[in-house]
Structures are given as structure tokens and as C-alpha cells.
Amino acid sequence: MAFLFNSDAERAKVFANAFAHALPHQRFLTPAEAFDPADVRYLLTWTVPDDIERYANLEVLFSIGAGVDQIEPASLPPNIKLVRMVEDGIVRMMQEYVTLAVLALHRDLPGYLSQQAGGVWGVRPVRQAPDCQVSVLGLGVLATAVLDRLEPFGFIRQGWSRSARDIAGVNCFNGPEQLTQLLAQTDILVCLLPLTSETRGILNVELFSRLPRGAGLVHVGRGPQLDHDALIGALDSGQLAGAVIDVTDPEPLPADHELWRHPKVIVTPHIASVTQPQTAARAVIDNIGRHEAGLAPLGLVDRDRGY
């Protein structure tokens, strides 16, 4: 049986070296090589290959990214496990980015950047972290890691998920009714939701209106979750004081888009968290071990939920 690596050549070198040391019995393949598709037991890829039906003995499809919204579950036979990437590099980078973004909004960095552009020297209002409520939409692996990293600053930490969760030191909310409660007491909102039919377009006029006036937004989920016009309207009206946006729809964000030049917005090009080949290889190797031991892989996707 074999592992097929369907991604870029540079990452393939790192994965191949890791597999040679940790799983010498596992044949490591790339699409450029000649092989019998029936030998492929594991496949790592970004999207489902058009010829997926060739891999008659495929057991696990690993996404090379943390999300799986680019994969249509119905395109996979029901016996194949779909596993999203959960690795230390992705987690660490997301912790860094969200901490940076939350602190930027907390200390009004967009306001100071706007003043700097105009040559204005002026002190802007500031509140203490223990008086600031930071809420995270989504309470998966990345979100819980982000909330943990924010703890030392003293923020009031809150989180929302579809189903009930219990996280030490975090006020947890769940379900549609409690989402309204969470939003009403949120100063900085962080979106880390997966993209599903339920979350598409969730960052809209209605949601922004439920936040206290002057709240901030950090968007590191998926581009189609954000209504750009609604965001700009909320910023222009003062309903939102600032936003840090890492994902957009479309990507790349067109050069003439208003978000690039909006004085209350910081835009980055989908770089909050990127799969790191060394730690990703270790995560995949560990998951193969779990699978062969009869355990569920970490990051196993529930096809009904889409994450």
C-alpha cells in the first residue's frame, strides 16, 4: 500500500524525508511517478482529483489545509475518511495572527495609522483589557488555541459554537439564540468559523447591528462569510470602529476594492495561518498511525456538518 502526495514539489521533499524516517514501510508517491492506483491507501491533496475513482483502495483523503470547504464531500465514496489538517504550525501561526489583530483593534492601530498618514499627532481613547470582551465564533482546535493565547492579556474571553462546549475561563455560548446574547456583549469579534451553508454570509448587516456600537472585527474564517458592503457600511456609520481582514471573496481582493483604502481596515492576503511542511508531515504520519490502530484521525470531518 502507498501514500500519494498531490501537492507542490518543495513540500513533497519534506514529507518524503519524514516518511522515510518514520514510516519506511510506507511507499511514498507523487503524481509524476508511475504507480498502480490500486496501491494507494492514503492521499494528501488540496482538491479531489478528477480521477478519484481510479483509487479503488483509498481509505483516507488528507486535506493539506485546515479547511475542507474546497472539497465536496459528495465527490468522495462514503467509505473514504476525509481529514482536515491539524498541525502545530497552523495552530501557532493562527494564535500569533489573531493576537496581533485583537491587540491592533484594542489599541486602535487603524486609527493611529490613519493619523500617521495625515501627519496628525493625537492621543486616542484606550480602555483596559479586563474591560474588553473578545468573542470568537467557532470553538474548534484553532479557536480554542487562540482563546488560550489571549488569556494572559486579561481580556474577558467568550466563544460561540453550534453545539455546547465547556472551556475553562471562557464564557461559552451555543445555538442561534445564544449567538444574539454573545454579540450584544462583544467588543472585538473574531470569526474562525468553517465555511458551510449555515455560515456563508453570516457577517452581514443584521449581525453587525447586534454588536455594541464601536465594536471591532477580526475575520480569519473564509471569504464568503463576509458581506463586504455590509462591513463598509458598518464602518462608515461608526457601528464598527475597525476591522482586520485576512480572507475575502474573491481572492485576491481586486486592487480597486474599497477595503484596501478604507481608513478603518487592515487587509492581509490570506496569510494568518499557512500549513508548515515539517509539522504537517508529522501530523499526517501520526494520523496514519491512529488510523492503522483503529482510532479516528485527528481532524476527521463530519460530512453532515462539513467540518
Sign of CA dihedral 165, 193, 220, 217: negative
Residue ranges with strand state E in the chain: 2-5, 27-29, 40-45, 60-63, 81-83, 133-137, 156-161, 171-174, 188-191, 215-219, 240-245, 265-267
Please tell me the distance from the alpha carbon of residue 75 to that of residue 36, in angstroms, as a whole number.
21
Which listed residue (106, 157, 222, 291) is catalytic? 222
Which listed residue (92, 107, 270, 282) is catalytic? 270
Please tell me the distance from the alpha carbon of residue 133 to that of residue 83, in angstroms, as a whole number.
33
Please tell me the distance from the alpha carbon of residue 196 to that of residue 204, in angstroms, as a whole number.
15
Cβ pair 297, 291 in contact under 8 A: yes
270 is an active site residue: yes
CA angle centred on 228, ends 99 and 231, rounded to 5°: 65
Q: Over the range 210-225, which residues count as b (16 or more CB within 10 Å of their CB) and which as e?
A: ebeeebbbbbbbbbbb
**What distances in angstroms separate CA 48 from CA 70, 86, 141, 299, one per listed residue?**
9, 19, 24, 17
303 is an active site residue: no
What residues are annotated to the active site? 222, 270
